Amino acid sequence: MKEQSGSYNIAERLATRKRKQTVVNTPPEAAASPMPSQPRMVMTVEEMGRELGVSRATAYELSQHPDFPSFSIGRRVLVSRDGLAKWIEKQYTEKHIESSETIEK
């Protein structure tokens, strides 16, 4: 019985210590301000792939195209959210124009 209460005390002390560390390590401005509601301006290639529903390999392949809105900071490859939206619109528009020209002929 003592071992169970002893282990409970250890778990309780660890949880208390973790709560104290969280409170101590959180800067006051971060604790007081709510999370921003706007998404980040950029995303990683992996995040872009998940949003588009393509594989990681396909996402990295897309990021290598010259007209794709990606850029590097150090070793990280990032994708502009606004640029991606414009790029998708451009892809749709170009394909739509090509298919309508084919129908007209």
- What is the three-class DSSP state of 42? strand
**C-beta of residue 39 within 8 angstroms of C-beta of residue 33:** no
**Above 50 in pLDDT, residue 1?**
no
The tens digit of pLDDT for each residue in 44-78 reads 999 999 999 999 999 999 999 999 999 999 999 99
Distance, in Å, from the CA atom of 45 to the CA atom of 80, rounded to the nearest integer, reads: 10
Name every residue whose Cβ is closer than 8 Å to that of residue 43 and which is 6 or more positions away in sequence: 51, 78, 79, 81, 84
Q: Name the residue ranges covered by the structural domains of the chain.
A: 2-32, 42-104
Q: What is the pTM of this model?
A: 0.56
